[in-house]
Amino acid sequence: MGAHIGKADASSKPSPADMLDCNTKLADNLKSDLPEGSDLKTEAEGFKNLGHFVAAVHISKNLDISFADLKAKMMAGDSLGQAIHALKPEVDSTKVADDALKQAGTEVTMQ
């Protein structure tokens, strides 16, 4: 049992940070939406997939929510919607999260 030659498995799936290396246009756009001096690859660490990271970056900017606070909530186990609701309870967090994830999916696939 053993060799993974020529076969990809879940553990070999590229991380969001690795995927940003291949999509420099998206990386450049995201970097401009994060606080100055942020390291894009470091900020992407821990997210389930690139789409969740992209959505979180956009939500942070669009709703004027601290990206660090949003990420911390998500890394603690909150869904994107739960994290938004905790940080900005006056918005429709479910709709905002759904819309952001759909948009992020479009951006991720446009390589």
Q: Are 81 and 97 in contact (CB under 8 A)?
A: yes
Given a cut of 70, whether residue 87 has pLDDT beyond it is yes
Which two structure tokens, joined as six digits, stand for 12?
């070999």
Instruction: Report the alpha-carbon distance of residue 31 to residue 89 in Å, rounded.
Output: 26
**What does the pLDDT read at residue 11?**
57
| Per-residue pLDDT tens over the stretch 90-106 | 999 999 999 999 999 99
Cα separation, 81 vs 20, whole angstroms? 24
Residue 10 vs residue 28, higher pLDDT: 28
Identify the residue with better confidence: 18 or 78: 78
Rg (the chain; Cα; Å): 15
Domain ranges of the chain: 15-109
Sort 2 into a burial class: Cβ within 10 Å, 0-12 / 13-18 / 19+.
Answer: exposed
88 pLDDT above the threshold of 70 = yes
23 token code pair: 């999509």
Q: Count H helices, E strands: the chain?
A: 7, 0
pTM to 2 decimals? 0.85
